[in-house]
Chain A
């Protein structure tokens, strides 16, 4: 059995992390806050959380001085919700260039689907590529989503898709960079398993 590692949470002032740390605690996972670039070295896994507006969050991440170090990371990195979108090339939310760690675009639901926005509630995901994040998660498991922008579907980088008027990426991966659009900390036992899986990748 692999020893559980320690997770650094990038603390750049975008969104509430209380529920995330609570979920990690419930899983018995060790974590700490990353406030400065050099603190990224203190952990062997990194989570980038995020709630709010893409352009504003990107601004805050820049202001934190951590971008160059994040781009160099070779350890597993998990972006959650807006934190996942920051890993992509670009977002229509504020028309902003992002970290370009996953070569996909973040697009607006509005104007593309005839359904209510935000996409809010429990929706199923469908695994389309292998990933250690999905270990033990059956097809069509429900996760909790709250978002108005989505990452486009891509047969190479999409690990699991979700359907809301359109198929989009619920989970993405490019090398050591992972992202989940839903909130694992609010998605019941399945969400907690995703966090646990991330801790043993």
Chain B
């Protein structure tokens, strides 16, 4: 007998919703404050990554904000150190503009790379990367802002508006071979007022690849909301985790209590 749609939804419920801490790294060190107890060196990304893996984070994202080639080389060493010591998957983003960059990161042990500006400037890069390394390796990060009744893709951390309407760009990225979309709402980022559930929900309905929500996490209820209202596959946050405002084990317990499947 063919399974019904409800059966399929129920059957799928063992795939856990992912919680992803995001770390900004510059010249191989984490920047932005971290406020963890029992941390010998708060700037050491490997130690932080290890702490998060012990707290049952499902994945990690490292965002490389180094401005110089020297800084990027140092980041490559960091990627190796993380891959050597951490037993959960991680993504690295920032400054990837060609196949060679991605190849170096793959060989250093990165599970996925995240591309943003370079993909908007050269959409074919998504296809090239997917062909070369498989689409599961390619995360397309999209920064979006609401202007005059429309959502527009922005570059340079939200400072530069493009002509791409966000829904169109996300679909285009998917067609070109993106394996996952990491969507940051600039209007919500940093507010701690919760994720942009309406936008995420609308985008998610039209996607056939996983969607990671980013921007706006302030408390545990916000995570419950984004999983229940937008049904995203993962939620990413930085400061609420780094400053210990939300502990990942507590968050997972809370999500479970609300009927959301977590590891």
Q: Evaluate whether A22 and B12 lie within 8 angstroms (CB atoms) in the complex, with A116-B233, A122-B18, A142-B263 already known.
A: no
The distance from the CB of A190 to the nearest CB of chain B, in whole angstroms, is 9
A115's partner among B12, B53, B58, B109 (CB-CB below 8 A) is B12
In the complex, B99 has a CB within 8 A of chain A: no
Q: Evaluate whether A122 and B134 lie within 8 angstroms (CB atoms) in the complex, with A18-B109, A142-B263 already known.
A: no
Contact A119 B87 (CB under 8 A): no
In the complex, A200 has a CB within 8 A of chain B: no
In the complex, A23 has a CB within 8 A of chain B: yes
Q: Evaluate whether A116 and B210 lie within 8 angstroms (CB atoms) in the complex, with A121-B18, A123-B15, A188-B88 already known.
A: yes
A123 vs B17: C-alpha distance when bound (angstroms): 10
Q: How many residues of B contact A (CB 8 A)?
A: 35
Query: Interface extent on A, as a size class?
Result: 35 or more
Residues 69-93 of A at the B interface (beta carbon under 8 Å): none
What sequence of 0s and 1s flags, for each residue 69-89 of chain B, a beta carbon within 8 Å of any chain A beta carbon?
A: 000000000001001110111
Determine which residue in B87, B89, B111 has the highest number of CB atoms from chain A within 10 A of its CB, and name it.
Answer: B87
The distance from the CB of A125 to the nearest CB of chain B, in whole angstroms, is 9
In the complex, B145 has a CB within 8 A of chain A: no
Q: Which residue of A lies closest to B137 (CB)?
A: A51
Determine which residue in A19, A142, A165, A189 has the highest number of CB atoms from chain B within 10 A of its CB, and name it.
Answer: A19
In the complex, A196 has a CB within 8 A of chain B: no
Contact A192 B87 (CB under 8 A): yes
Name the B residues within 8 Å of A192 (CB-CB).
87
Name the A residues within 8 Å of B106 (CB-CB).
16
Name A residues whose Cβ lies closer than 8 Å to a Cβ of B: 16, 18-19, 22-23, 25-26, 51-53, 113-124, 142, 144, 146-148, 162-166, 183, 185-189, 191-192
Name B residues whose Cβ lies closer than 8 Å to a Cβ of A: 5, 8, 11-12, 14-16, 18, 53, 58, 80, 83-85, 87-89, 106-109, 111, 133-136, 179-180, 207-210, 233-234, 263
A121 vs B15: C-alpha distance when bound (angstroms): 7
Contact A123 B136 (CB under 8 A): no
6 sampled A-B residue pairs with Cβ under 8 A? A16-B109, A19-B109, A22-B84, A22-B85, A114-B5, A118-B136
Contact A26 B88 (CB under 8 A): no
Q: Evaluate whether A185 and B87 lie within 8 angstroms (CB atoms) in the complex, with A18-B108, A121-B18, A142-B16 already known.
A: yes
A74 vs B107: C-alpha distance when bound (angstroms): 31
Contact A123 B134 (CB under 8 A): no
Name the B residues within 8 Å of A186 (CB-CB).
87-89, 111
Contact A123 B14 (CB under 8 A): yes
